[in-house]
Amino acid sequence: MSLRLAVLGAGAVGGSVLDLAGDYGHDVVAFADSSSSAVDPAGLDPSAVHDRKERDGVVGDADPESVFDADYDVLVEATPTTLGDAEPGFSHVERALADDRHVVLANKGPVAERYADLRALEAESEGTVQFEAAVGGAIPILSTISDLGAPHVTAARGVLNGTANFILSRMAAEGLDYEHVLAEAQDLGVAEADPTFDVDGIDAALKFVILANVLSDGETEYALDDAEVEGIRNVPGTALDLAAEDGRTVRLIGEATADGVRVAPRLIPQGSALSVTGTQNIVQLETKHAGQLNISGRGAGGPETATAVLSDVSRLE
Amino acid sequence: MSAQDLDGGSDAEADGSGEMPKPHTIRLELADEPGQLLAALAPISDNGGNLLSIFHERGNLTPRGHIPVEVDLECPPDRFERIVDALRDAGVNVIRAGAEHFGEEVMVILVGDTVDSDLSDTLHRIESSADATLQDLSLSAREGTDEASSARLRLAVRSGRVDETLAVVRDLAAEKGLHVVEPLAEGSQ
Ligand SMILES: NC(=O)c1ccc[n+]([C@@H]2O[C@H](COP(=O)([O-])OP(=O)(O)OC[C@H]3O[C@@H](n4cnc5c(N)ncnc54)[C@H](OP(=O)(O)O)[C@@H]3O)[C@@H](O)[C@H]2O)c1
């Protein structure tokens, strides 16, 4: 069945959803950035929209609000992740649910910072909220947990920030210092100009907070403030040298367990499942009856994240 | 980069295998007669041991009808053999001696500019406030860079006390302005 998508956010993720929706048999009927929108009930032409954005800095002539007046089935929320009140993402979700539409989030803010509020709105609506893309890009982590059943998964741990992992694994492999590798990562587009969210562990913490919310199945609500978070800025090359001498390495590991959420640089054996290199991500699920499950892959990127968004959309059919 | 491996090395102050006292446990059997315990403890202090605790399991008899006693003591590692020999020479039945209780091993890395300057104080305080004993130590500093130095500690920890030991290390590091890279216990295979 073909679904009509309204996409908020015209960046790496929103833009890729626009490009790939057709591949999944869906139409993007409305598309907005921060100052404009394009609406076409027959489905938008991706290249025309991209050209307009590139040429004029807008996606169309309508204002962003017009998206909500379009006839759509699923709102795809891909505006920037914000902390605290998680706005404007949260209000976007609220509006779509009030109109009994489904919501698929790439934005981590509403599910990490206001999980209970979000679930309460969902309960009042005919629409549902899905957010596979918010945790680990293309890696099907939440759908795996949902298949296993959250009560059968006792913990999740792993590496969910490609930037921090790239930096630590390069430092370890090349004997280079943090500043040097950070600059290299920025040149390669692996790290942003302001890398704070990634290197201070906030991005990873948001993802493990979301996992904790999913695993606790409504019993306890977690937000970023409940997480113990330490980034990688204080891991010097000397620590990686000492770890390597003993067959170990250091990775920024997140944990969502019965004890809560913690993100910190940790010592792990070299060559162990969690010691992924480069921008690779991995999550290890601890199950009650079936031991550990490891799922790894690309945790970020436009097409990768759009793939998770469109898998969520397809589940609604 | 210079990684100084002090594992079993000659630097007695820093590596803990020389003068620095370590905790040990000795299990004895004593006949249920007055004066037995005192007699058994003399060889310990006579040979440089420092008594930490004595657990006298009065209600509990060994198959031979003796009373089991567990003695925790602290002594430089090279004195320990001598103490056990002296006990046996004095006719005390030593059932088990050594650090058998330190059944778990934990590796931590401490990071900070001051990590090497007051290392012996750090180690001493970890050993005296946690159920842990230092097994080996390595230091690393990169000369000519402004990168912080690091120290890798391998601790033998009393079974079931890993979390407490890590908490002690964390508190101490916070007090000294150091960072700790802790091991990930589970799920790392
Ligand atoms: N990139 C990834 O790999 C990845 C992976 C997982 C999750 N995510 C999440 O997905 C979301 C989007 O990421 P991204 O990389 O695509 O970000 P991005 O490239 O920075 O794009 C953000 C887009 O949101 C638009 N926007 C801002 N405020 C808006 C508003 N009020 N209404 C409508 N549009 C608005 C921006 O408009 P302008 O163009 O006008 O500035 C921009 O087009 C974020 O929440 C991010 O955390 C990203």
Which tens digit of pLDDT belongs to each residue from A7-54?
999 999 999 999 999 999 999 999 999 999 999 999 999 999 999 999
Give the distance from residue B140's alpha carbon to the nearest chain A alpha carbon, in angstroms: 5
Does pLDDT of A68 surpass 90?
yes
Rounded to the nearest 10 degrees, what angle do helices A302-315 and A12-20 cross at?
A: 60
Q: Which residue of B has its CA nearest to A272?
A: B189
Ligand 1 atom with least separation from CA of A308: 6
Q: Are A101 and A161 in the same domain?
A: no
Ligand 1 contact, A60 CB (< 6 A): no
Contact A169, A277 (CB under 8 A): yes
Q: Are residues B77 and B39 in the same domain?
A: yes
Same domain, B138 and B58: no
Domain count, chain A: 2
From B83, B98, B113, the end of a domain falls on B98
Answer whether A81 contacts ligand 1 (Cβ < 6 A).
yes
Question: Is A238 in contact with B1 (Cβ distance < 8 A)?
Answer: yes
Same domain, B57 and B72: yes
Task: Provide the CATH number for the domain around residue A48.
Answer: 3.40.50.720
pLDDT, residue A229, reads 98
The domain in which residue A170 lies consists of: 142-298
Same domain assignment for residues A257 and A147: yes
Q: Which helix (H) or strand (E) is A280 found in, with range?
A: strand A280-287
Whether A101 and A147 share a structural domain: no
The mean per-residue pLDDT over the stretch A216-229 comes to: 95
Q: Ligand 1: does its nearest atom lie under 6 Å from the Cβ of A80? A: yes
**Domain match, B13 and B74 both:** yes
For the stretch B139-169, pLDDT in tens is: 998 887 788 999 999 998 877 788 889 999 9
For the record, the structure tokens of A70 come out as 């379009």
A217 and A248 together in one domain: yes
Answer yes or no: do A256 and A128 share one domain: no
Residue-number span of the structural domain to which B65 is assigned:
7-98
pLDDT score of B81: 86
Same domain, A310 and A222: no
Minimum-distance CB partner of B109 among A242, A268, A273: A242
Q: Is residue A161 domain-shared with residue A112, that is, in the same domain?
A: no
- From residue A162, alpha-carbon distances to A111, B18, B67, B183 in Å are 20, 45, 60, 21
If asked whether residues A281 and A204 sit together in one domain, one would say: yes
- Is B186 contained in some domain? no
Residues A78 and A169 in one domain: no
Ligand 1 atom closest to A203 (CA): 47
Q: Measure in Å the smallest separation between the Cα of B109 and chain A Cα atoms.
A: 7
Q: Which residues of A are annotated as a binding site for L-homoserine?
A: 192
Q: Which of A101, A157, A170, A207 is catalytic?
A: A207
Cα–Cα distance, A199 to A232 (Å, whole number): 6
Tell me the sheet residues that pair with B107: B154
